[in-house]
Structure 1
Amino acid sequence: MNLSVLYRGPLASCNYDCPYCPFAKRRDSRAELDADRTALGRFVDWAARNPDDDRLCVLFTPWGEGLSRSWYRDALVRLSHLAHLDRVAIQTNLACRLDWLDAADRRTVALWATYHPGQVRRETFLGRCARLAELGVRFSVGVVGLPEHLTEARALRAALPADVYLWVNAAEGQHYTAAQETEWSAVDPLFGYSVRPHPSAGAPCRAGETVISVRGDGSVRRCHFVDTPLGNLYDGSYRAALRPRPCPNAACDCHIGYVHLKTLPLYDVFAGGVLERVPADPRWGVPAAALR
């Protein structure tokens, strides 16, 4: 079968101090880092063995910044060369060096990059994006839709190549007026999917069927937002629990969750790039006004 795995280990440290993030400038202890490295290595070994003979896609969604740690870079390189793995991607602030990508299979590896105004110069971030484009690495770029980020988001959109999708995540707790939604939608034509929660109670979802969430200890859940375990990855006990099932939550308001709802058309919008958030049609990279 085709199985997408969202992996989140115990890593929770980040080199940025964004005021809207609970993991800003958090430092993991050496013991915590060692535990994260061991857990990630175990997961990569499982993916390499592929005991159930699946076609795999993997997205790393660390609480902290993974690419500042060598074991995440090494994991992406190793996984990218597996014949049974179609895509391996990671959410990142793109603050790391990029020379490690020389060793990766750039047909398979992808980056979901977030620009954090105030943490990095726009020119520096754009330089890293340009390097990814030179290397032929698939990537999307995004920002958190805070009012104070709108000017930077517009400038970033203007500077990026037209075929690079710039997504905007609605800020948690932020109320958007109709005018504000229009402003942000001019940057990201798909912003409407992020700006309001999607009713999901009883709705069919791929999570728990062809998409799973895995924690560092191997415990498997249908997604990051449903805490009921399905079993464990390493003893195979999760396997019998995979089946079509409705969402038990009232609403879903995070892209890595609602993208898998069968009631939304996002698997068509992001066909071939669901995990890295790259739309199938490059026109989505163009501001909405240019599409009219």
Structure 2
Amino acid sequence: MDLTLLYRGPLASCDYDCPYCPFAKRRDSREQLRADRAALERFAAWAAAQTGDRLRILFTPWGEGLVRSWYRRTLSELSRLPHIERVAIQTNLSCRTDWLAEADPETLALWCTYHPGQTPYDRFLTKCRELDGRGTRFSVGIVGLPEHREHARRLRADLPPQVYLWVNAAEGHTYTDEEADGWTALDPLFPYSRHPHPSAGLPCRTGETVISVDGDGTVRRCHFVKTDLGNLYDGSYRAALGPRACPLAVCDCHIGYVHLETLPLYDVFAGGVLERIPAAGVRTAGAGA
């Protein structure tokens, strides 16, 4: 079986407190952290055992995973398994980078977000340069708020030209055409993020070749459709896999709409869907307007 898994365990603690973040952050207790570690280790053991399948895994924690040793170790270990095609995680890049020496750079990738006001710019940029020096695959992004424009321009100027700088449309923010053009000058793919995508009744890869998994092993088609498809660990989800239309009116998150078959994003991000890295030849370096 060829399968993409979006894993989100119970971890919810984060070392950042971004005012625009749609996720409710909290401090996890020691018991909650132990539960998250146990859930992650169970998932990793399952993934390691699926030697007859071809897997791609994206970790999408509510909080920041890479400040926890069990996430760093899990990514490194999974990256070295021959049946794991890609393992990636969304991160604010606040962790150290030396652990990447234990990972396979051909398999592991990072989806990094810069949050102005939460970390010094030079510190974040240094981490990016460390990733580049290690040969780690990574993309870098920012939320498209007006107060972030200069930070984004600076990032585009300072990052290596081959590193994709993406811009997420801010939740609840309406962009004028002029504003959108400014962001598109930095990220030529920003138009895909600007408006929610109509999805009701349209074919989507989620629920067929892409699934969402929580810490208990409950399988759903994606993070945004709550209908259970079974459980990962007893294998009951497999009988439920198949082509199905989206039941929601719109899809407004990249980790959801990237899988819509009506959009060309599997071609745009060929080889880098999980880490949000466009295929070679796709124009991603904007003019920096």
TM-score normalised over the length of structure 1:
0.96
Partner of 1:46: 46
Distance 1:197 1:4 in 2: 23
Distance 1:49 1:55 in 2: 11
Q: In structure 2, list runs of 5 or more residues that go unmatched.
A: none
Distance 2:26 2:95 in 1: 17
When residues 166 and 289 of structure 1 are mapped into structure 2, their CA distance, relative to the original with a 3 A threshold, is closer
| Residue identity in the other structure for 2:42 | R
- Identity in percent: 70
5 Å matches for 1:1-292? 1-21=1-21, 23=23, 26-50=26-50, 53-281=52-280, 283-288=282-287
Distance 2:11 2:157 in 1: 34
| Residue identity in the other structure for 1:32 | Q
Other structure's SS at 1:7 match = strand
Distance 1:285 1:13 in 2: 32
Note if contact 1:214-1:220 (Cα within 8 Å) is conserved in structure 2.
yes
TM-score normalised over the length of structure 2:
0.97
Note if contact 1:14-1:23 (Cα within 8 Å) is conserved in structure 2.
no
Deviations 1:80-105 (A, max 9, x none): 01110000000000000011001111
- TM-superposed CA distance for 1:15, in Å, is 0.2
Distance 1:45 1:134 in 2: 31
When residues 287 and 109 of structure 1 are mapped into structure 2, their CA distance, relative to the original with a 3 A threshold, is same
Q: In structure 1, list runs of 5 or more residues that go unmatched.
A: none
- TM-superposed CA distance for 1:283, in Å, is 4.9
Note if contact 2:189-2:284 (Cα within 8 Å) is conserved in structure 1.
no
Other structure's SS at 2:125 match = helix
Note if contact 1:79-1:88 (Cα within 8 Å) is conserved in structure 2.
yes
- State the superposition RMSD in angstroms: 1.3
Distance 1:278 1:205 in 2: 20
Note if contact 1:3-1:56 (Cα within 8 Å) is conserved in structure 2.
yes
Distance 2:65 2:124 in 1: 17
Note if contact 2:25-2:63 (Cα within 8 Å) is conserved in structure 1.
no
Count of residues paired in the alignment: 289
Distance 1:165 1:219 in 2: 33
Note if contact 1:170-1:194 (Cα within 8 Å) is conserved in structure 2.
yes
| Residue identity in the other structure for 1:252 | C
Distance 1:169 1:274 in 2: 16
| Residue identity in the other structure for 1:79 | L
Note if contact 2:202-2:262 (Cα within 8 Å) is conserved in structure 1.
yes
- TM-superposed CA distance for 1:121, in Å, is 1.4
| Residue identity in the other structure for 2:120 | R
Distance 2:93 2:48 in 1: 26
Note if contact 1:270-1:278 (Cα within 8 Å) is conserved in structure 2.
yes
Other structure's SS at 1:284 match = coil
- TM-superposed CA distance for 1:288, in Å, is 4.9
Other structure's SS at 1:20 match = coil
- TM-superposed CA distance for 1:20, in Å, is 1.2
Distance 1:227 1:284 in 2: 35
Distance 2:180 2:284 in 1: 18
| Residue identity in the other structure for 1:35 | A
Note if contact 2:268-2:282 (Cα within 8 Å) is conserved in structure 1.
no
Q: Which runs of 4+ in 1 moved over 6 A?
A: none
Note if contact 1:16-1:24 (Cα within 8 Å) is conserved in structure 2.
no
- TM-superposed CA distance for 1:124, in Å, is 1.1
Deviations 1:15-71 (A, max 9, x none): 0111112557621000100000000000000000117x2100000000000000000
Distance 1:289 1:147 in 2: 15
Note if contact 1:199-1:250 (Cα within 8 Å) is conserved in structure 2.
yes
